């Protein structure tokens, strides 16, 4: 995936500054980057804090034809910093899976002995610099004749040792429902808690993969995609409410993409 640029950082809880245009204002690299960074950071903040992170659609993990790799289908995900990761049609390639493909564990990394036979596949945001252009000006100590003129927002697949943490499905709002009604004070207390910090690792786990015996091929039963977080889009929340209320899902009452 060429060199990793990753100039995009997590949009935390901070003030934002944007350009104020006036007649005759000199626009330089700083101002154009300020413009791009403002809109990117605002969008990523909303993605992270309002929509949430995880898989939006696609990105299924299947065994490769060679029996020793996996293939990820096209799809869309949002990482834990709110950045969009799009795997387009025709861009995926087989990812080799074996005990030697995952990096060695960190010294401080705690892993259950039963997890030794597993790796988990993660999708990570990745930026690449491309399209070199001539440098017509710059700082006095700059000597390069050209520099990349484009930042391509891409992705990379990373294998990590052990299993990914299980997705938490228990209710995190104590006493949310009381007497058959929403306990609004409890809800108000829940949302008034401090805003979550940016995660140290923004990558999204896609699947746990059990390492097969060297003499056997990697099969679908070795792959568990239930560990992936999902983005609860409006369509998905609608379907969940329909299922929980045991109502028949009628398409004419549903908006969205379908």
Q: Would strands 84-87 and 75-78 be described as parallel, antiparallel, or unpaired?
A: antiparallel
pLDDT in tens, 107-133: 555 555 567 789 999 999 999 998 888
pTM of the predicted structure, to 2 decimals: 0.82
Quote the pLDDT of residue 258. Answer: 60
Q: Is 163 exposed, middle or buried (0-12, 13-18, 19+ CB in 10 A)?
A: buried
**102-121 burial string, b = 16+ CB within 10 Å, else e?**
beeeeeeeeeeeebeebbbb
Quote the pLDDT of residue 73. Answer: 95
Quote the pLDDT of residue 14. Answer: 78
Quote the pLDDT of residue 4. Answer: 43
CA distance 241 to 251: 14
Quote the pLDDT of residue 112. Answer: 56
Quote the pLDDT of residue 82. Answer: 94
For the chain, the structural domain boundaries read 29-253
The residue whose two tokens read 């935390």 is 12
Kindly give the parts of the chain with pLDDT less than 50: 1-5
Among left, alpha and beta (phi > 0; psi -120 to 50; other), residue 66 is alpha
CA distance 151 to 148: 8
Tokens of 238: 């609608």
**80 contacts: CB under 8 Å, gap ≥ 6:** 48, 53, 198, 199, 201, 202, 203, 204
């Amino acid at each position: 995936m060429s060199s990793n640029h990753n100039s995009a950082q997590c949009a935390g809880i901070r003030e934002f500054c944007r350009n104020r245009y006036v007649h005759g204002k000199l626009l330089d690299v700083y101002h154009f980057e300020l413009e791009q960074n403002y809109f990117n950071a605002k969008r990523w903040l909303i993605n992270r804090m309002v929509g949430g992170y995880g898989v939006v659609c696609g990105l299924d993990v299947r065994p490769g034809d060679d029996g020793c790799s996996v293939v990820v289908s096209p799809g869309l995900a949002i990482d834990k910093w709110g950045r969009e990761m799009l795997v387009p049609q025709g861009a995926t390639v087989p990812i080799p899976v074996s005990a030697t493909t995952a990096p060695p564990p960190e010294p401080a990394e705690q892993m259950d002995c039963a997890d030794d036979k597993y790796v988990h596949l993660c999708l990570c945001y990745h930026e690449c610099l491309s399209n070199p252009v001539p440098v017509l000006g710059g700082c006095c100590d700059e000597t390069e004749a050209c520099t990349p003129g484009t930042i391509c927002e891409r992705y990379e697949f990373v294998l990590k040792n052990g299993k990914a943490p299980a997705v938490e499905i228990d209710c995190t709002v104590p006493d949310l429902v009381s007497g058959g009604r929403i306990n609004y004070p409890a809800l108000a207390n829940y949302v008034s808690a401090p805003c979550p910090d940016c995660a140290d690792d923004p990558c999204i786990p896609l699947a746990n993969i059990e390492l097969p015996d060297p003499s056997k091929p990697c099969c679908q039963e070795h792959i568990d995609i239930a560990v992936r977080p999902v983005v609860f889009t409006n369509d998905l929340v609608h379907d969940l409410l329909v299922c929980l209320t045991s109502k028949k899902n009628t398409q004419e009452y549903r908006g969205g993409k379908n």
